[in-house]
Amino acid sequence: MIYNSIHNLIEYAISCGLITPEDKVWATNRLLEALGLESYEEPADCDEEINLEDTLRELCDYAVEMGMIEDSIVYRDLFDTKLMGLLTPRPGEVIAQFNSLYAQSPVAATDYFYKLCQDSDYIRRYRIARDMKWTADTEYGTIDITVNLSKPEKDPKAIAAAKLAKQGGYPKCLLCKENEGYAGRVNSPARQNHRIIPMTINNQPWLMQYSPYVYYNEHCIVFNSEHTPMAINRATFAKLLDFVTLFPHYFVGSNADLPIVGGSILTHDHFQGGHYEFAMAKAPIEREVKFDRFDDISAGIVKWPMSVIRLNGADKSRLIELADRILAAWRGYTDEAAFIYAETDGEPHNTITPIARRRGDNYELDLVLRNNITTDEHPMGVYHPHAQLHHIKKENIGLIEVMGLAVLPARLKGEIAKLCRMILDGSDLRSDEDTAKHADWVDSFIGNYQVTADNIEDIIKK
């Protein structure tokens, strides 16, 4: 059985180009070493179709049976990533191939790199396929919604072990370049199959990788080569526009640099991009705006449920100049009647979430005005979903949500299924811990529908 699994993993790696047929014996011996085996026999009967998830599960089952690892999703992920790392091309090979293809076209380069990250199981295709995804038609366009299931939830044993584990300072965060090839630990993911691409933007060394959780097509992360905090400034606009110059088929944007309105990692300067057009990018200009001395830049307010100024022009330097002026004006803007305060007690509140893309030969910048002020009534933010919606999600509204993709927590898959059953049964939603928090919300709309087994899930999603 174990020999079959080893054979299948080697054949998989050859079939998708991770290794060559000439690497077969060498790669087999690497796997034998990792599995604590001293001998190997080529199986007589081989599977015609190789399923990577099943193969890795079989290898992890063997490791559990031999006492090599604990039987837990965390330890299994650490172990199967180690195995895949043995079969993933070295960073120098990946970079050389990327650069060679880039000389042909940026699309060819990113197609290669994205496929590699999936084939190496850094992006686990089989988990991504389980994500719940649907759309909602609104007055602002078609909004994307996903319940992301590709990021595994830790079991109680792993959580307990993580609490006892030494809090190491290496790598400094999940974005740092030192993650490439890192073995991981119970409180930090394994990254032996992780590869990154170096590039220069705004005359500085930056890096690109793909997100292992892929919230949308070719979801990439572009990050500073140094562990330095998030900052929105003039240089940010230059970096974003440089990136879409290098990769005109991608958009790229930055989370804001303040808590509540920023992303989940504020300690490492980074952007997110990809090959996808969000609803905000499709949204029309609602009202045109003219800026003095910037007649070469078309500008307007976007029809969107957030305050968005769109700039479009052919000259990057002019866009950077105007965006920087808007940022400076917004940083210092106060309108008490509208409850907009630039700062309170010395704490700044105003910042911008910027997004860049190409429109033919032109460049386009969307500048989303953000404010993170809190009150006793709204301690998580006045301009943040309020408490009555926290049963769905209470985390930051970052770049991805701003653009029109709601990334919802994995717990909702089970809670939606339970809501469907209990509503159809006429059960008391308040009698169950998982559904009680949703009860008031369900009461607000369920009476408007003729509920059936065929439509209940769609009603809840809507």
pLDDT band at 104; cut points 50, 70, 90: very high
* pLDDT (tens digit per residue) in 67-81: 999 999 999 999 999
Residue 19's pLDDT is what? 98
Q: For the residues 198-212, what does the mean pLDDT come to?
A: 98
Which tokens in the block code for residue 258?
Answer: 């303040």
In percent, the amount of the chain with pLDDT more than 70 equals 96
Residue 159's pLDDT is what? 53
* pLDDT (tens digit per residue) in 282-293: 999 999 999 999
Residue 162's pLDDT is what? 54
* pLDDT (tens digit per residue) in 396-451: 789 999 999 999 999 999 999 999 999 999 999 999 999 999 999 999 999 999 99
Q: Is the dihedral of CA 398, 399, 405, 407 positive or negative?
A: negative
| SS3 category, 204 | strand
Q: For the residues 360-381, what does the mean pLDDT come to?
A: 96
Q: Are strands 308-313 and 405-408 parallel, antiparallel or unpaired?
A: unpaired
Q: Kindly give, in sequence order, each residue whose CB lies less than 8 Å from that of residue 341, ignoring residues fewer than 6 positions away.
A: 334, 349, 371, 373
**CA 84 to CA 123: how far, in whole Å?**
12
Cβ–Cβ < 8 Å for 149, 214: no
| SS3 category, 451 | coil
pLDDT band at 299; cut points 50, 70, 90: very high
Residue 132's pLDDT is what? 95
Calculate the CA 445 to chain-centre distance.
Answer: 31
DSSP state of 387: G
Closest residue by Cα to residue 319 from 378, 262, 288, 365: 365
**CA 183 to CA 191: how far, in whole Å?**
6
Neighbours of 351 (CB within 10 A): 23
pLDDT at 149 over 90: no
pLDDT at 158 over 80: no
pLDDT at 157 over 70: no
* pLDDT (tens digit per residue) in 162-180: 556 666 689 999 999 999 9
Rg (CA), the chain: 25
C-alpha angle with apex 242: 239 to 245, nearest 5 degrees? 155
* pLDDT (tens digit per residue) in 383-394: 988 999 999 998
* pLDDT (tens digit per residue) in 115-146: 999 999 999 999 999 999 999 999 999 999 99
Which tokens in the block code for residue 224?
Answer: 């500073």
Q: Kindly give, in sequence order, each residue whose CB lies less than 8 Å from that of residue 56, ignoring residues fewer than 6 positions away.
A: 9, 80, 83, 84, 121
- Mean residue pLDDT of the chain comes to 94
